[in-house]
Amino acid sequence: MRIDDVLKNHGYFYFNPDYLLFKADTSNVNHCVSFKLTLKDTVPQNAITVYHINNVYINQNYSLNERRRGASKDTVRFENIVFVGKETQMKIKPEVILESIFLRKPDVFSRQNHIITLNRLMSMGNFKLVQVNFLEKDAKATGLLDVNILMTPLPKHTFRAGLDLVSKSNNFTGPRMNLSLLNRNTFKGSELLSLNLAGSFEAQLSGNNQNLFSYSWNPQLELTFPRFLIPFKLKQSTSIYIPKTHFSLSYNYLKRVSYFDMRTFQFVFGYKWKENIRKEHEFNPIDISYTTVGNKSAAFNDLVNPNPFLKKSYEEKFIAGGTYSFSFNNQMIPGKKVQSYFLLKSELAGNLFSLARVISGKKVSSENPGTIAGSVYSQFAKISVDARGYYNFRDKNMMVMRFFAGVGKPYGNADVLPYSKQFFSGGPNSIRAFHINSLGPGTYYQDTKKNGFLQLGGDLKLEMNAEYRFGIMRYLKGALFVDAGNVWLLKSNPENIGSPFVFSKFMNEVAVGTGVGLRVDVSFFILRFDLAMPLRMIPKTEANFRWVTNEINFGSSAWRGDNLILNVAIGYPF
């Protein structure tokens, strides 16, 4: 099979692995077997003929019930490629299509180039089906192949509407609507323009914060180009994946009735590309967001004023920087006993503004912070690593291990990370024995029933998870898991919010939880139920972590109410 792959990439279009023959010669002296690789006598002539690409025909408007009519159709020749149909009828510009065509006259036929062409045309997102057919030119012209590329287009415009009913672990419940309008060929260059509008209404129907309402709406405009938009020319990539340049402009309005209004504007410009099926990169040199909090009520001020750190988190913020992420994932490769996943994320913000202040002779300080258009800008560096290992047993059960570490450092113009950039712990995809975002920082105890939606984050996060997944029956699967971790602040603070991170002491401030899971797994959709309880935590009446295994009492309704957490989610946690 490997020999056949090599030959297919060197022009042997009609070769077949069955044409290869291994002859064995045994030796009684050394008990060895010698193999000789040769061709069978019945190999046809065309199997050992090197074929070259002749004419290439491209039809962008091919219908599945259409028969090829050959010369009866109008054709346009562009860079030695024949496009079937009038130029005015072409949905996508020929030069854009040719960026994905790797079968050119008079190149030697290569199956690798065939696969690259097919995958790149499909990944453009404009066609429901792409066929690449090869036809020997005629009996006299031995070694020449005509190529017919037949592409069945998708509708140019697509409109979608969806209605969800959302129930969260903080007792917020309500409907959410999503509207989406997609243009698959905005400027006749296969550009994808997406206009999305999401709106939701939530109410807390139980707990201490009953009748707490919130609603939000979020319009978003996205434009994606199937190429790198850069001021210089790059050598054409032979990857089967098309690089993409994307623009995103969004606005998010959140209304916490009787508390505050929050408005966030965001603009992102960046690039996405894949080296291969396992490695993917995303680089956003421009990532700008502006958040304002207005209409603060007396009740909201009463909650945040005693906690200056939390109050700073809800101040007006202007963030301008860039992000880079790299992921490695080999889970899609079949037959691997041990699979892995790795995600690296990094972010820098505010440095250009601070550099401009230094050049102009101004001091950069969080005590007297600089502003942009009247708003204080954030300055920080942030990096995180998410590593996972998957061990597959013969009975299709699986052992999964995950390690997460992240740190963010405010400096220069800021002394606190923006709320949206802080690390949080607890919830369905974190430490499942604790309510969402309720763990830490450090030894700080967050009373979620009292503070409701106001949670504190940290500058540093460490988390470890282990989960054994096993089958029960067909689509029903189970799990046993243990989670451990916490978030910390990097330095002590005058508000005495927990303990800062100290390497020699952090192990004593790690929370631990365990539980069982039930999952409905139908491949394309996974509904997950995880029931967890804490093993190590900060009791309400104390200020330090300790093991609470001696207090487990499933027969007590009070203990169950305080310690058992049911997490309902879509998809696996990691």
Q: How far is CA 443 from the centre of its chain?
A: 32
More confident position, 229 or 456: 229
In this structure, the number of other CB atoms found within 10 A of the CB of residue 265 comes to 14
At position 192, the amino acid (one-letter code) is L
More confident position, 14 or 310: 14
- 360 contacts 305 by C-beta, under 8 angstroms: no
Domains present along the chain, CATH in parentheses: 2-48 (no CATH), 52-153 (3.10.20.310), 158-246 (no CATH), 257-390+401-419 (no CATH), 422-574 (no CATH)
Classified as helix, coil or strand, 72 is: helix
DSSP 8-state class, residue 96: H
User: What average pLDDT does the chain have?
Assistant: 89
Structure confidence at residue 235 as a pLDDT band (50, 70, 90) = confident
pLDDT for 400: 97
| pTM assigned to the model | 0.86
Most confident listed range (164-178, 378-392, 480-494):
378-392
- CA distance linking residue 527 with residue 279, whole number of Å: 28
pLDDT for 462: 97
- 433 contacts 483 by C-beta, under 8 angstroms: yes
The CA–CA distances, whole Å, from 529 to 169, 469, 521 equal: 12, 13, 11
Lowest mean pLDDT of 108-112, 397-401, 543-547, name the range: 543-547
pLDDT for 361: 85
Q: What is the DSSP string of 152-174?
A: EEPPSEEEEEEEEEEE-TTSEEE
Q: Would strands 52-59 and 75-78 be described as parallel, antiparallel, or unpaired?
A: unpaired
The CA–CA distances, whole Å, from 554 to 512, 546, 560, 564, 567 equal: 18, 20, 6, 9, 18
Q: How far is CA 275 from the centre of its chain?
A: 16
Q: What digits encode the pLDDT tens for the residues 251-287? A: 999 998 888 899 999 999 999 999 888 999 999 999 9
- CA distance linking residue 480 with residue 338, whole number of Å: 19
Structure confidence at residue 208 as a pLDDT band (50, 70, 90) = low
Q: What digits encode the pLDDT tens for the residues 510-560? A: 999 999 999 999 878 899 999 999 999 988 778 889 999 999 999 999 999
Closest C-alpha to 387, from 323, 341, 433, 353: 341
Structure confidence at residue 70 as a pLDDT band (50, 70, 90) = very low
Structure confidence at residue 88 as a pLDDT band (50, 70, 90) = low
Which distant-in-sequence residues (6+ apart) come within 8 Å of 474 by Cβ?
none
* pLDDT mean over 11-29: 90
Please classify residue 395 by burial: count the beta carbons closer than 10 Å to its beta carbon, then call 0-12 exposed, 13-18 middle and 19+ buried: exposed
- Which 3-state string (H, E, C) describes 352-392? HHHHHHHHCCCCCCCCCCCEECCEEECCEEEEEEEEEEEEE
Angle formed at CA 409 by CA 405 and CA 410, multiple of 5 degrees: 150
Report cis status (omega within 30 of 0) of the bond before 106. Answer: yes
At position 48, the amino acid (one-letter code) is I
Whether the predicted pLDDT of 15 surpasses 50: yes
Share of the chain above pLDDT 90, in %: 61
* pLDDT mean over 15-29: 88
- How many alpha carbons lie under 13 Å from residue 449 in its C-beta half-sphere? 6
Structure confidence at residue 508 as a pLDDT band (50, 70, 90) = very high
Whether the predicted pLDDT of 241 surpasses 70: yes
Q: What digits encode the pLDDT tens for the residues 129-156? A: 999 999 987 656 688 999 999 999 999 9
Whether the predicted pLDDT of 565 surpasses 60: yes
Angle formed at CA 258 by CA 256 and CA 262, multiple of 5 degrees: 35
The neighbouring-strand residues paired with 488 are: 460
